[in-house]
Structures are given as structure tokens and as C-alpha cells.
């Protein structure tokens, strides 16, 4: 099992199969796990996406990814999903800030 990454992110790949991986995130909970799992499941080359928190006392979120052999690797799918999630978060933030500005303007009148 190979480990790479920093303290808050760890990639565990079993054997030589890049299509299967477990990504370990520290300092995250079900909110992040479910959002990333959803974005992974939407990718066409992903066969399986799931997450678990081994124990409530552990500061560890495990995201398990399996992709179609010969397609993008599990790590690439994870990276793409995180970028997609960041894009969704940007759209939500812009929409919220626009609505807040509109509300603030209407309250001043």
C-alpha cells in the first residue's frame, strides 16, 4: 500500500491498480464526505464512490473510489470531483451574495 500526500490528505492505493484508491481527509466530516461522494458518483468513469468515518473519535474521513479500468485513475477522478465541487460552491456563493445585495438594497428603500 503506497501513501502519498501531506498531513491532511493521504492517498492509499492497494497494489499496482490505479483504478482503486482510498483518499483519507483529516478535519472533515459527513458534509464534505457526502458532497465529494456525490460529485464522484456523477463522473462517467466512476464505478463506485463511497465514504466512511471509521469512528467518531477519529479525525479521519475515508473516501473510497473505483474507476473503470483503462480510464482515468481514482486519484484523477477525485481531483476532478473536488474541482467540480469548488465550481458548484462558487456558483452558490455568487447566487447567495447577489440575493443578499438585492435584499439589502430593498431594505434601505
pLDDT, one tens digit per residue, over 18-74 is: 999 999 999 999 999 999 999 999 999 999 999 999 999 989 999 999 999 899 999
C-alpha separations of 90 from 13, 24, 84 in Å:
31, 24, 10
Q: What is the pLDDT of residue 61?
A: 95
- DSSP reduced 3-state for 4: strand
Q: List the one residue out of 48, 63, 13 whose CA is nearest residue 2.
A: 13
- DSSP reduced 3-state for 18: coil
Tell me the CATH number at 44: 3.30.1360.10
Question: Can you say whether the dihedral through the CA atoms of 77, 45, 48, 88 is positive or negative?
Answer: positive
Number of domains comprising the chain: 1
* Residue 2 confidence (pLDDT) above 80: no
Structural domain span for residue 28: 2-108
Q: What is the pLDDT of residue 77?
A: 97
Residue 13 pLDDT grade (very low, low, confident, very high; cuts 50, 70, 90): confident
Q: List the one residue out of 30, 29, 50 whose CA is nearest residue 39.
A: 50
Cell of 34: 457526502
Separation CA 80–CA 46 (nearest Å): 11
Question: What average pLDDT does the segment 10-16 reach?
Answer: 77
Q: What is the pLDDT of residue 8?
A: 79
Q: What's the predicted TM-score (pTM) here?
A: 0.82
Amino acid at each position: 500500500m503506497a501513501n502519498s500526500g501531506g498531513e491532511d490528505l493521504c492517498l492509499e492505493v492497494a497494489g499496482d491498480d490505479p483504478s482503486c484508491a482510498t483518499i483519507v481527509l483529516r478535519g472533515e466530516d459527513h458534509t464534505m464526505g457526502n458532497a465529494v461522494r456525490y460529485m464522484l458518483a456523477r463522473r462517467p468513469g466512476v464505478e463506485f464512490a463511497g465514504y466512511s468515518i471509521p469512528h467518531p473519535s477519529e479525525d479521519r474521513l475515508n473516501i473510497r473510489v473505483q474507476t473503470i479500468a483503462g480510464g482515468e485513475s481514482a486519484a484523477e477522478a477525485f481531483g476532478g470531483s473536488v474541482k467540480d465541487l469548488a465550481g458548484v460552491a462558487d456558483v452558490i456563493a455568487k447566487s447567495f451574495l447577489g440575493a443578499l445585495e438585492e435584499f439589502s438594497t430593498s431594505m434601505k428603500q
